[in-house]
């Protein structure tokens, strides 16, 4: 099984987020999945490319390892108002 990423193409962008600096997006294929890492050309140290590769490939490995796992059934049978109340209790609980 091939475990090495294959370079597909580079996409150059500029003025990312209106900051006036350039970046390059590098597209790779790994184990049948595509992923993109970003090389920032702004003079600052961003997330290293090796770390972006490592994280993207770990995500793909996880997806492949768990692709046949059953999806747990998620069901809610209450009213819409009860659902909104539960949602806001959840949101407010995170902010506290």
Domain chopping of the chain, boundaries = 6-65
Residue 22 has what pLDDT?
Answer: 72
Strand partners, 7: 28
pLDDT, averaged in runs of 10, over the chain (96 residues): 83 63 86 91 76 96 94 86 89 68
Phi, psi of 94 (to 5 degrees): -70, -35
Measured between alpha carbons, how far is residue 78 from residues 71, 75, 93 in Å? Answer: 22, 10, 21
The whole-model pTM stands at 0.64
Residue 19 has what pLDDT?
Answer: 58
């Amino acid at each position: 099984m091939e475990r090495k990423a294959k370079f597909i193409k580079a996409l150059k962008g500029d003025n990312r987020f209106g900051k006036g600096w350039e970046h390059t997006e590098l597209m790779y294929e790994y184990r049948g999945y595509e992923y993109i890492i970003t090389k920032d050309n702004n003079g600052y140290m961003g997330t290293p490319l090796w770390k972006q590769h490592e994280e993207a490939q770990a995500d793909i490995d996880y997806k492949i390892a768990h692709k046949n796992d059953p999806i747990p059934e998620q069901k809610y049978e209450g009213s819409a108002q009860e659902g909104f109340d539960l949602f806001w209790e959840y949101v407010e609980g995170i902010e506290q």
